[in-house]
Amino acid sequence: MKNVLLAIAALAVVVYAFYPLESRWKASSPDVTVLQFWHPWTGQYADDLAEVIAEFNRTHPKIQVNSLFMPTGAGENMKFFVSVAGGVPPDVVFVDGAQVASWANMGVLRPLDDLLAAASVDQAHYFEPSWKQCEYNNKVFAVPAAADPNFALVWNKDHFRQAGLDPERLPRTISELEEYAQKLTVRDKKGEIERLGFLPTFVPHGSIAVLTWGWAFGAEFYNEKTQAFTCDDPRAVEAMKWIMRLQNEYGGQERILNFEAGFGFSAQEPFIQRDLSMSIAYIAYAQDILRFAPDLDLGIGPMPVKEGVDLGCEWIGGWTMAIPYGERGNEEEAFELIRWMCADPVGTRYMALTMKLLPAYRESPFFAKDLAGDLSSKPDIRLMKAFYEILKRAQRVRPVSPVSAYYMTELMRALGRIRNGSKTPEEALREARDRVTDEWHKSQKRAQARHVRAANRAAETSSGR
């Protein structure tokens, strides 16, 4: 009885949430297919995406795409899961690459192998790390739309000059980064920080800081063959100890927190406000620097790593596009939208130029046409070219696992405990490893139970019961 009530409640939520949308999204004529497309953006990205969709609709008169903002990031995806459970999912959805394996394991995404094969699209067309996020259990559940190369080091050349540093030479190793950070830090007469040379937990922060700096020290976080979580790798422990040492050299967590209290967002970011001399930047943050501080003499280059680490710490994230599980009858049209945005020369270039996101499709003409030649009058494209260099070098992705989101949460908690001193790096990372391993075993049991239920339903259907 309890399960029945829960099912009715879920269905009621679905009808309430989505019926008004269904009633609005009617085709302009009987031979036009209407697609519902959920995306995660607001603000400028939403406006830019609307322009991309308008171009698709203009060039595909038999398909009409209606896009709707609906958060699908980690911790914000319940509406999506309810829509699938209620049988009214969108036709196409953006999925954060790190979540594809988890959603595939839950059975809410349709495998795309047949549609990809029919369109002659395969992994050879994509940057390898981008494609890797889309595979789970030897099937493909999404197509990479945009590659997000992480990260670049950005620096304020004026601050370098003031500190007696060569403004054209970035720090290449962790020890040089620490040396530069100390020279660039400015304090008042009381010893309080007025300007910070570098803060390793500003960008990246949380779990991404653990991964990125761990990789910079040569650590590994996941063994694909054994599916073992290895965040307690001694090199990851060393990276966390380095973060703590740098924090202590600045005067400890309390002094850092006092300085961070003045941080804002967008135009008020500390690097943009000249309160931070060096920062790690992802492509959207770097675009914000150009937008809000066009007069800042900006340097940009690769992140430093510990001496002796051969494989850099750059990695690829980014959004993918997928078809939710369910029978809506629009799968070919839905895949055409995915193909145009993710694997079409015209579509991938249009999306890159409009949204300022690098294509994951390595054969996009954007790379040969728009990143070539004199870019001195195109600072935004010049910036994309700098991140393209990172994209070409990067070989890593976040661990591809059905418990990736849980893993990221545990790494974030571990960093918090390390920074506030409640646990040593060894203790915090070992605890994270144990908790994620336990969750992985639970996820496998849940998946097995779903497979058994599906097999039983299929047997009942075939027997006519």
Strand ordering across the sheet containing 143-144:
63-69, 33-39, 92-96, 319-322, 143-144
The domain segmentation of the chain, as residue ranges, is: 2-148+317-370, 152-313+397-438
Report the topology of domain 152-313+397-438. Answer: D-Maltodextrin-Binding Protein; domain 2 (3.40.190)
CB 289 within 8 A of CB 172: no
Which tokens is 272 given?
Answer: 């943009």
CA 300/CA 287 separation, integer angstroms: 12
Q: How far is CA 167 from the centre of its chain?
A: 31
CA 433/CA 221 separation, integer angstroms: 9
CB neighbour list of residue 76: distance below 8 Å, 6 or more residues apart: none
Which tokens is 459 given?
Answer: 């047997």
Segment 136-140 long-range contacts (CB within 8 Å, at least 24 positions apart): 136/100, 136/101, 136/104, 136/105, 136/400, 136/402, 137/104, 137/105, 139/104, 139/111, 139/113, 140/111, 140/112, 140/113, 140/116
Q: Output DSSP code: residue 303.
A: P
- State residue 1's pLDDT score: 38
Same topology, domains 2-148+317-370 and 152-313+397-438? Answer is yes
Burial of 460 (0-12, 13-18, 19+ CB in 10 A): exposed
Q: What is the pLDDT along the chain (465 residues), one digit of tens a residue?
A: 344 334 434 444 544 454 444 444 556 677 899 999 999 998 888 999 999 999 999 999 999 999 999 876 555 678 888 888 888 899 999 999 999 999 999 889 999 999 999 999 999 999 999 999 999 999 999 999 999 999 999 999 999 999 999 999 999 999 999 999 999 999 988 888 889 999 998 877 789 999 999 999 999 999 999 999 999 999 999 999 999 999 888 887 777 877 777 787 778 899 999 999 999 999 989 999 999 999 999 999 999 999 999 888 999 999 999 999 987 789 999 999 999 999 999 999 999 999 999 999 999 999 999 998 888 889 999 999 999 999 999 999 999 999 998 999 999 999 999 988 899 999 999 999 999 999 999 988 887 877 677 667 666 666 665
CA distances from 185 to 182, 301, 303 (A): 5, 20, 19
How many CA atoms lie less than 13 Å away from 110 in the CB half-sphere? 24
CA 340/CA 404 separation, integer angstroms: 29
Domain 2-148+317-370 has CATH 3.40.190.10: yes
**pTM: predicted TM-score of the whole model, two decimal places:** 0.87
Pairing of strands 63-69, 33-39: parallel
CA 358/CA 365 separation, integer angstroms: 11
CA 391/CA 310 separation, integer angstroms: 17
Which tokens is 417 given?
Answer: 């405990």
- State residue 346's pLDDT score: 97
- State residue 217's pLDDT score: 97
CA 262/CA 65 separation, integer angstroms: 43
- State residue 455's pLDDT score: 66
Question: What is the phi/psi pair of residue 66, to 5°?
Answer: -110, 120
Alpha helices (H) along 39-112: 43-59, 78-85, 100-106
CB 152 within 8 A of CB 387: yes
CA 218/CA 309 separation, integer angstroms: 6
Q: How far is CA 24 from the centre of its chain?
A: 32
